[in-house]
């Protein structure tokens, strides 16, 4: 029994010695290899992270080095991409933090590491330009540096989110965009200074729903809508709407003297996004064969500020347009009183030349029935016909009848219809007149919008 136990012990010793010997080469030195939990010569935290820990100065940027060893995380700056083509086409560059680097140029004296993206570009024309990251939905905290030629060039200008500089067509520029916040995306555009950078924008906020139409001179350049085919001069009108609702803006008019496009950009939260293509909410270039102008429909909020651009004028021209703005409506309406002079509603609709147009205003209940009248106006604003007492009303007013008029249009454009109480001022209720306005163009209901509302 003792002999068997001794043999077993000897056998275990033999196996242990064999294992120890196998760890050495013939020369008696221990063999090396990644995975043996020993950081041997030639191994480091990059090629063998299981055996070696990162240490400051090894050139490997670890999470700990962000706070304690900047030198391992900083690299020489290299431009990411040339954006000359984007600048030429008025397009936007989107910058993701994951594409950024920690450059020696920016981070050498910085207490906090920040990623950056460097872009190079040229401009087609020497002019004053705006370099902007002010776009809705994207970071507005980017630190920008405009440099001559390259990463190491002379700093020409700097600022947060937006800078203005005169750029020359025969030079190459570099732009350093530094992420001041983590996990952000920026949108960048470079455009000529234009009307958005001036005080020349016409504000029509106080005139909305008063029936005015606006003469707009298109003399500035620099902005382009998503549907715009001609990059030329534009005019801009700005307003804050008096109420929420679906709005219509149109430059279809005999005095609009060029095939015009129209687009709308929305600002809010105290930030002006006039020059941001990212703020565009609608764009139309649907000009008609026999009359210039386009029309857009958009949702408007009382908390927003809206810039309406009229574009498409070539830079060699001096163009003008007539703008009409109102709220989209259905047929059911009301006047806030029975005064012939004071209580009036004004509507507009588009009709092509030689269309059959039928217009009828009618009462909707006995309690508010009134002696209704209509004035129809041509696209140039001249009176076409006053309609009164042509047909019986559905709910008869105290006296007289309801207006109805049918005609064939002679010109394309926006026709106007004004609804009011006749000079008799015959109303069942002197404080409220409910009515319905029905309009058809070749048997179809057109897009009807209100320019004056008697609230």
Query: Cα separation of 321 and 230, whole Å?
Result: 16
Which fold, 81-193? Jelly Rolls (2.60.120)
Strands 81-82 and 116-121 come out as: parallel
Task: Note whether 347 and 416 are within 8 A (CB).
Answer: yes
Between 434 and 79, the higher pLDDT residue: 434
DSSP 199-222: S-PEE-GGGTTBT--EEEEE-EES
Asked whether the predicted pLDDT for residue 440 surpasses 50, the reply is yes
Q: Which two tokens stand for residue 442?
A: 């070749």
- Cα–Cα distance measured from residue 364 to residue 119, given in angstroms and rounded to the nearest whole number: 65
Instruction: Please write the tens of the pLDDT for every residue from 314-349.
Output: 766 778 999 999 999 987 899 999 999 999 999 999
Which of 400, 363, 366, 407 lies closest to 383, judged by CA? 407
Residue 417 has pLDDT above 80, yes or no: yes
Q: What's the pLDDT score for residue 30?
A: 47
The distance from CA 270 to its chain's CA centroid, rounded to whole angstroms, is 15
Q: Which helix (H) or strand (E) holds 88?
A: helix 84-88
Tokens encoding 374: 């209509």
**pLDDT score, position 443:** 97
User: What's the CA gap between 406 and 414, in Å, rounded?
Assistant: 16
Residue ranges of domains in the chain? 34-71, 81-193, 196-326, 332-452
CB 195 within 8 A of CB 281: no
Q: What number is the average pLDDT over the span 227-238?
A: 84
> Are 244 and 105 contacting, i.e. CB atoms less than 8 angstroms apart?
no
Residue 166 pLDDT > 90 = yes
User: What pLDDT does residue 199 have?
Assistant: 85
Cα–Cα distance between 363 and 333 in angstroms, integer? 10
Q: How far apart are CA 173 and CA 373, in angstroms?
A: 66
Q: Give the helix/strand (H/E) hosting 247.
A: strand 245-250
Same CATH topology for 81-193 and 332-452: the answer is yes
Tokens 């680097």 sit on residue: 101
Q: Which helix (H) or strand (E) holds 116?
A: strand 116-121
Note whether 418 and 344 are within 8 A (CB). yes
- pLDDT tens-place string over residues 189-232: 999 998 999 888 999 999 999 999 999 998 888 788 999 876 67
User: How many residues in the chain?
Assistant: 455
Please give the Cα distance from 224 to 87 (Å, whole number): 12
Instruction: List, in order, residues 6 or more apart from 143 with CB less than 8 Å away.
Output: 158, 159, 160, 177, 178, 180
Instruction: Tell me how far the alpha carbon of residue 86 is from its chain's centroid.
Output: 17
Token pair for 421: 């109480």
CA end-to-end distance (rounded Å), the chain = 115
Residues 6+ apart with CB under 8 A from 290: 352, 353, 412
The rounded distance, in Å, linking the Cα atoms of 290 and 244 is 34
Residue pair 237/251 in contact (Cβ under 8 Å)? The answer is: no
DSSP 3-state assignment of 337? coil
User: Quick one: fold of 332-452?
Assistant: Jelly Rolls (2.60.120)
Distance CA 166, CA 161 (A): 17
Please give the backbone phi and psi of residue 87, each rounded to the nearest 5 degrees, phi first. -65, -45
pTM here? 0.80
Q: How many CB atoms lie within 10 A of CB 157?
A: 14
Asked whether 36 and 50 are in contact (CB, 8 A), the reply is: no
Domain 196-326 in CATH 3.40.50.300: no
Residue 455's pLDDT is what?
Answer: 55
75 pLDDT more than 70: no
Mean pLDDT, the chain, whole residue set: 87
Chain centroid to Cα 277, Å, comes to 5
Nearest 10 degrees: Cα torsion 368, 453, 449, 263 = -160
| Cα angle 290, 292, 293; round to 5 | 135
Q: Please give the Cα distance from 428 to 411 (Å, whole number).
A: 38
Q: Which residue has the tokens 């298109």?
A: 218
Q: Which residues pair with 425 in a beta bridge?
A: none
Q: Are 387 and 374 in contact (CB under 8 A)?
A: yes
**Cβ–Cβ < 8 Å for 165, 127:** no
For residue range 281-302, what is the model confidence (pLDDT) as tens digits? 999 987 777 889 999 999 999 9
Give the range among 136-150, 278-292, 376-390, 402-416 with minimum mean pLDDT. Answer: 278-292
For residues 419 and 347, the answer to whether their CB atoms sit within 8 Å is: yes
């Amino acid at each position: 029994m003792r002999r068997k136990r001794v043999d077993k012990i000897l056998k275990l010793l033999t196996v242990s010695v064999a294992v120890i010997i196998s760890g050495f080469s013939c020369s008696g030195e221990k063999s090396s290899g990644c995975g043996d939990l020993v950081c041997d010569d030639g191994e480091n935290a990059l090629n063998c992270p299981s055996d070696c820990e990162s240490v400051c100065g090894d050139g490997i940027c670890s999470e700990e080095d962000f706070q304690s060893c900047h030198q391992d995380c900083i690299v020489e700056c290299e431009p990411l991409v040339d954006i000359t083509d984007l600048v030429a086409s008025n397009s936007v560059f989107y910058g993701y933090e994951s594409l950024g680097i920690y450059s020696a140029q920016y981070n050498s004296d910085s207490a906090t590491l920040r990623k950056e993206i460097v872009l190079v570009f040229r401009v087609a024309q020497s002019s004053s330009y705006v370099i902007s990251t002010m776009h809705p939905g994207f970071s507005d905290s980017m630190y920008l540096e405009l440099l001559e030629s390259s990463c190491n060039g002379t700093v020409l200008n700097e600022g947060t989110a937006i800078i203005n500089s005169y750029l020359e067509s025969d030079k190459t520029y570099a732009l350093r965009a530094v992420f001041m916040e983590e996990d952000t995306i920026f949108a960048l555009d470079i455009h000529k200074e234009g009307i958005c950078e001036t005080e020349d924008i016409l504000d029509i906020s106080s005139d909305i729903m008063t029936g005015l139409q606006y003469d707009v001179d298109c003399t500035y350049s620099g902005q382009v809508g998503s549907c715009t085919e001609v990059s030329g001069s534009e005019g801009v009108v700005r307003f804050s709407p008096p109420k929420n609702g679906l709005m219509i803006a149109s430059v279809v008019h005999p005095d609009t003297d060029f095939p015009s496009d129209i687009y709308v950009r929305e600002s809010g939260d105290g930030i002006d996004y006039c020059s941001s293509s990212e703020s565009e909410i609608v764009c139309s270039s649907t000009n008609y064969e026999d009359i210039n102008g386009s029309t857009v429909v958009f949702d408007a909020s009382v908390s927003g500020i809206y810039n309406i651009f009229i574009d498409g004028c070539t830079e060699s021209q001096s163009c003008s347009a007539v703008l009409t703005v109102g709220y989209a409506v259905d047929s059911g309406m009301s006047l806030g009183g029975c005064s012939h002079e004071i209580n009036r509603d004004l509507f507009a609709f588009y009709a092509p030349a030689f269309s059959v147009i039928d217009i009828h205003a009618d009462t909707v209940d006995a309690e508010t029935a009134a002696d209704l009248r209509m004035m129809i106006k041509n696209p140039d604003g001249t009176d076409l016909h006053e309609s009164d007492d042509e047909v019986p009303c559905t709910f008869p007013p105290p006296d007289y009848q309801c207006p109805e008029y049918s005609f064939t249009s002679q010109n394309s454009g926006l026709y106007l219809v004004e609804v009011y109480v006749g000079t008799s001022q015959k109303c069942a209720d002197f404080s409220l007149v409910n009515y319905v306005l029905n309009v058809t163009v070749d048997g179809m209901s057109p897009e009807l919008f209100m320019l004056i509302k008697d609230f």
